[in-house]
Structure 1
Amino acid sequence: MTELTQKLSDLGVSLWLDDLSRALIESGDLEKLMSERNIVGVTTNPAIFKAAIAGKSDYDAAIADAASRGLDVDDTITELTTADVRSACDVFKPTYEKSSGFDGRVSIEVDPRLAHDEERTVEQAKSLHALVDRENVMIKIPATDEGLPAITRAIAEGISVNVTLIFSLKRYRQVIDAYLAGLEKAAENGVDLSRIHSVASLFVSRVDSEVDKRLEAIGGDALELRGKAGLANAQAAFAEYLEYVNSERFSALKAKGANPQRALWASTGVKNEAYPDTMYVDRLVANPVVNTVPGKTLEAVADHARVEGSLTESDFAAARTTLEKISSVGVDLDDVFAVLEREGVEKFETAWEELLSAVRDAAASTK
C-alpha cells in the first residue's frame, strides 16, 4: 500500500477503479492494484467496455465463439461484459466479505438506450443481476426521471444499485428518496435489508467543464469562480448525505438492518490541465464515501495527493456560498445540470453504438 492511498482508506474513502477489461483481470494487474493501491472495487460504464473491447484482440476468440452459436451482437456484448464483471466479482470476493458488503463491489450498467424506459430498465436490472450471479455485483441505473422509479423497484427486489449520472443536489435528493422508498418496499416484501447496498454517483469534473465554459463567456470577476463548481456541488451533496442518514426515516430502516446509500464521487479525472490532477480526491475526503478513479488519477494520487483531511461544517457552508456566487454572476445551474444529464446519456449511447459496431465487425470477420 502507498502511504497516500492508505491515508485515504484510513479516513473513510473507498477507492474504486473506474476501469475494467479482461486483460486487467487475467494479467493479475487488478489484484496488484488491490494490494498496492488500496483499490477495493470497480466501476464500469459503456465507454469503459467500448475501450476494453473495440479494436482489441483480447475478445476475438470469445466473439468468434458467440458468433458460431448464433448470438446476435447485443447478446454477445451482454455475454462478454457479464463474464468480465463476474470474474472481477470473484477477485473482489475477499474484500466484499471483509467489509460486510460495503466494498469489493463491481458495477455493470443497464443499456444506456433504456435510460428513459422504466419498465425495460427494471427488466434488464433483474436480468444482469441474474446473469452475473454474484452477491457483490451492483447494477448501475441512471438518475433520469424514468430511472428514479426503476431504482426504487430494483431496490425493492433486493438488488444492490449504483445510481449513476447524478449532477444536481435536487436530483440527489430524489435519488435518496428513491432508495429509501425501495428499502421500505423491500421491508414490506420480507427482503433482508442488510444484504442491499447502494451508492449514489455524483459526477464532479463534468460540472466544472460546463460551468467554466459559461463563466468564461461572462468574463470579468466571474473568472475567479472557475474550477470551484464541481467541488462545491459535491461537498454540498455530502452535507445532504449527513442529513438523510440522521433522519428519522432512515433510522427506522436502519433498525431493520438497512445500510446507508453512500455518496460516490464519479468523473474525478481532471479535464482541465490547469488544475491539480488530484483535486477531486484531495478535497472530497469524508467518512464514508467512495471515490471511483481512472488509472491515471489513481497513480497521481499514490504519488502526490495532498489530502487535507475530512470535510467539515465550514466546508459545507463555503460550498453553498460558492454555488450561490456562481448563480449570482449569471450561471443558470439548473440548466447546467439538465445539459449535463442529457449529454451524459447521449455520450453513453454513442459509446454503446460504437461498441455494437465494433463487435459486429469482429463477428463478421470470423465467418
Structure 2
Amino acid sequence: MKITDAKVILTCPGRNFVTVKITTEDGLYGIGDATLNGREKSVVSYLEDYVLPALIGRDAQRIEDIWQFVYRGPYWRRGPVGMTALAGVDVALWDLKAKAANMPLYQLLGGRSRDRIMTYTHANGEDIEATLAAVEKARKQGYQAIRVQCGIPGIDKIYGVPKGGKAYEPADADLPSEESWSTHKYLNFIPRVFEEIRREFGPDLHLLHDVHHRLTPIEAARLGKELEPYHLFWLEDAVPAENQDVFKLIRQHTTTPLAVGEIFNSIHDCRELIQNQLIDYIRTSVVHAGGITQMRRIADFASLWGVRTGSHGATDLSPVCMGAALHFDYWVPNFGVQEHMPHSELMESVFTRAYQFEDGFFTPGETPGHGVDIDEVEAAKYPYKRASLPVNRLEDGTLWHW
C-alpha cells in the first residue's frame, strides 16, 4: 500500500474545514480532518509544505511508524498546528487500513465496547426562560445529556449563546470581534439557572456546563460548590489549564465532576491531571490530539485512574472527525459521553456519512473505514473565507480568556 498522492481539501460550506486525502497505488484512499478553528491555513501550509510531500512512497499500512515520523522527525514537536496536521494524516491512514481490511474502523481497533454512544447537545438561551425552552427541545429530541449555557444579565454577549435563535458559530468575523466579561455577574447568576432547570425537569437529565476557562481556581471552586445541589454531569474548562496544579485547589473544595482538554494536543497536557485524579473526564479530540493513535494512548492512560472520555464535538470539527470519533467511542472501554453539535445541511452537503443518530445516541455504521467521505466537486463550490474567534475583555478593558 505505497502512498502515491497526498493532498489537502480546504472548503467553507458555512464554516472552514480542512480535509487530508491520502491515496495509495492500488487506488484506495482515506481521509482525515485537520481543522483548527480560526487557524486553518496555518495547518494547510504545514501539511502542504512539509508533511505531505514526505509521505509519498511510504507504506500506508505503517501507521505507527508514520505517526512517529511526523511527530519526532521535525524536532519541533507538539503544538496545535503540528498536532492537528498529524491528526489529519493519522485518521486518513486508519481509514485506509480499515478499508483495506474491509471492516469498520471500530472493528480494527478491537471491536465495540457498547451498543450505542450517548451524546450531549447544547441548550442555549438569552435568558432563563429561553434556556428552559431549549432544554425542553433537546429533551424531546431524545437527549439524556444536555450542556446548558445562558445569557447573563448585564453582559451583552456570552459564550455559547447566539442572538436571534440562530445556531451558535463563534467564529463570527473576518478579524476578531471583542466581547466583555464580568466574573462577578456570572458567578451570581449561573446557580439560579441550574436551580430553575432542576425545578422544571427533575433529577434525571445529565446537565453539563462550560465555563470556557474564565475563572481563577478559587472562583471555580466556589462555582463547583454552589452547583453541587444540582448534580452536574460535569463542569467544563473551569480555569485555564496550562498550570495543571491549579486543579488541586478546585478539587479540594467541590465534588462537582470536572472536565477539561478540548484544546489539549498531547498526552503531556493532561498527564498530571489524570494521574493525580484531578479531573473526571478528558475532552481531547481526535483532530487536535494527534489522531486516533494518540487518543488511544490517552484513553488507556486515563483508564488506570478512573478518568473517562468526553470528546469535543462542536462544529469546528468536520463530519470526518465526527465519524472517526464515533468509531473511537464505540471501542474505548472508559467512554463517558460524546459532544454533538449538529452540522448544518450546507455543511453536510459536502460529506457523506454512515453514522446514525437516534434519540440522543449515535452508532457509527458498518461501512469499511470511518464511514465518512468528501464530495470534492461540492467542496470546490465553497472557497475558504477567513473567520476569527472573538477575544474577551473585562469590564475595565483588561484582556481576558475567551
TM (norm. structure 2) is 0.45
- Structure with more helix by fraction: 1
* TM-score, length basis structure 1: 0.48
Whichever structure has more strand as a proportion of its residues is 2
